[in-house]
Structure 1
Amino acid sequence: MSHPWVCATCANHYPEAESPPSTCHICADERQWVPPGGQRWTTLAELSAAGHRADIREIEPGLLGIGAAPQVAIGQRSLLVRTAEGNLLWDPSGFIDDDAVRAVREAGGLRAVSASHPHFYGSIVVWSEAFGAEILLPEVDASWLPRPSPAVRTWSGVLDVLPGVTLIQCGGHFPGSSVVHWAEGAGGAGALFTGDTIFVTPGEDRLTFVWSAPNRLPLPERDVRRVVDAVAPYAFDRIYGGWWTPVLREGAKDALRSSADRYIEFLRGEARTG
């Protein structure tokens, strides 16, 4: 039977076929990983049969979170930001079911769907097809999309998607690594959705950066500075990463600047420790 294949490690979706590809090209890259036992594949039907269900939560006014319980693969949850002129879905989970689609339909549907980087493309094509939504990908990273779609629209630099909702290409983890700036977030103080472009640390009081999280590879200084400079023109007090928690709930702009300075001290071997 022909159906889309889902990488069991990163949950990216591949084209419909009777048998899966030999490898997931996203996991074969040094920023991700292939299990020691080799490449593994699954399907949405298998995931549902195993008990996975949509996990839908109201995060703050105008912002809905959609993940999977139990989590699937990397485990990111998507964010649906709602505006009077349409909605954007960001960092879609690799799992999608009828309950997730129904929740988005009840919230006003989708104008567009996008992601911070290729590891989080997940079910992006399924979401696009369900709502006739554009898939917005940074031009430099668009070739990573495992399941081609005519709905893809590429962009570079900065893209105003909806009123008060802006995509910002920061680079770093991937050349096209991006964030969303939501002007109405955090009660009007502004919020960033950062995926893996900027990590919120467990204490919810600082931030960090990586080239590869699973392989513990740091991000070079020039790329850290590029990320910070890319978001500097925007007002924001809160940062949502790629998962339900942690969240840097206030003071995010100052925390980003001080965290970047501290990170660079370690890269240069100038950090005072102990």
Structure 2
Amino acid sequence: MQPFICATCGAQFAATAAPPPVCPLCADDRQYIGHEGQRWTTLDELRRDHRNHIAAIALGLSGIATAPAVAIGQQAHLIETAAGNVLWNCISLIDDETAAAVERGGGLAAIAISHPHFFTSMVEWSRVFGGAPIFVHGDDRAWVMRPDAAIQFWTGETVDPLPGSGLTLIRCGGHFPGSCVLHWPEGAGGDGALLTGDTIQVVSDRCWVSFMYSYPNLIPLGPNAIRGIVDAVAPYDFERLYGAWSGHVVASDAKAAVRRSAERYLEKIGR
């Protein structure tokens, strides 16, 4: 019995004797089954020929990414706060070297996940760090493939994932009903930062962002969902916005970038 990992999306499943027949996350129309069919891997396999790299992004913020890339290739973000460190989103690989490096930097007090495509090995990460609580919005409960007591399903529109940290999880919806972003008021030198996964996606022209129901299948969001995302983040100040992949950063005037990007999107779809 072992927890298999979907090779396409990186989600780790509850332990079974044989791989599941299909990954429900990839069978959903927001994702896709790999072109070679459903494939599986395990943590043991990943640990043989993959390594995580931790790199400072800004004061108090580091990225953790795997090479060679696994699944969709995102990086996790480690945020340092006065109350402890918080991991924003997750990656499939966790190994002894990564755990030791994070411990040297103060350990891990909580994990916050934006939506199911970044669940990956969140339970494994939690267990390595003493059962650190994992914050997942209750609207996305059905997509958790490896249940665990550490997962805290929260409800409503906002939650504080770590008292005293100043961080706020904000439900935006859109990509998934429970899709969230994380507001970090001390980010960007105290001007505020928003970490968005791809609930709000940084695009190639990094003065702009976009919003989609499905990125790989190019399925857009409707106007009500777009306006809901903009309204959800409107009460928060943020100069900078960090997406899910290395280099996906709106470096300045990020709040205005979200607003004008939404206006452009709505104009282009005629709404």
Same fold (TM over 0.5): yes
Using the alignment, how far apart are the partners of 2:119 and 2:173 within structure 1?
Answer: 16
Specify the alignment match of 1:229 in structure 2: 231
Using the alignment, how far apart are the partners of 2:219 and 2:142 within structure 1?
Answer: 23
Using the alignment, how far apart are the partners of 2:256 and 2:111 within structure 1?
Answer: 29
Specify the alignment match of 2:240 in structure 1: 238
DSSP 3-state at the match of 1:142: helix
Task: Name whichever of 64-73 and 165-174 sits farther off.
Answer: 64-73
Using the alignment, how far apart are the partners of 1:139 and 1:20 within structure 2?
Answer: 26
1:47 aligns with 2:46: yes
Task: Flag structure 1 segments of 5+ consecutive residues without an equivalent.
Answer: 270-274
Q: 2:201 aligns with which of 193, 199, 220?
A: 199
Specify the alignment match of 1:159 in structure 2: 159
Specify the alignment match of 1:27 in structure 2: 26
Using the alignment, how far apart are the partners of 1:185 and 1:37 within structure 2?
Answer: 41
Q: In the TM superposition, what is the alpha-carbon distance from 1:130 to its structure 2 partner? A: 1.1
Using the alignment, how far apart are the partners of 1:4 and 1:267 within structure 2?
Answer: 42
**What is the percent sequence identity of the aligned residues?**
49
Q: In the TM superposition, what is the alpha-carbon distance from 1:37 to its structure 2 partner? A: 3.1
Matched to 1:117, the amino acid is: H
Q: Which runs of 4+ in 1 moved over 2 A?
A: none
Matched to 2:161, the amino acid is: V
Specify the alignment match of 1:272 in structure 2: none
Residue by residue over 1:200-257, the C-alpha shift from the partner in whole angstroms, topping out at 9 and shown as x without a partner, is: 1112110100000000101111001000100000000111001112210001011111
Q: Give RMSD over aligned pairs.
A: 1.1
Matched to 1:69, the amino acid is: A
Using the alignment, how far apart are the partners of 1:52 and 1:84 within structure 2?
Answer: 32
Q: Normalized against structure 2, the TM-score is what?
A: 0.96
- 8 Å Cα contact 2:74-2:244 kept in structure 1: yes
1:268 aligns with 2:267: no
Using the alignment, how far apart are the partners of 1:133 and 1:180 within structure 2?
Answer: 18
- 8 Å Cα contact 1:11-1:95 kept in structure 2: no
Task: Flag structure 2 segments of 5+ consecutive residues without an equivalent.
Answer: none
Using the alignment, how far apart are the partners of 1:37 and 1:106 within structure 2?
Answer: 40
Q: Normalized against structure 1, the TM-score is what?
A: 0.95
Specify the alignment match of 1:89 in structure 2: 87
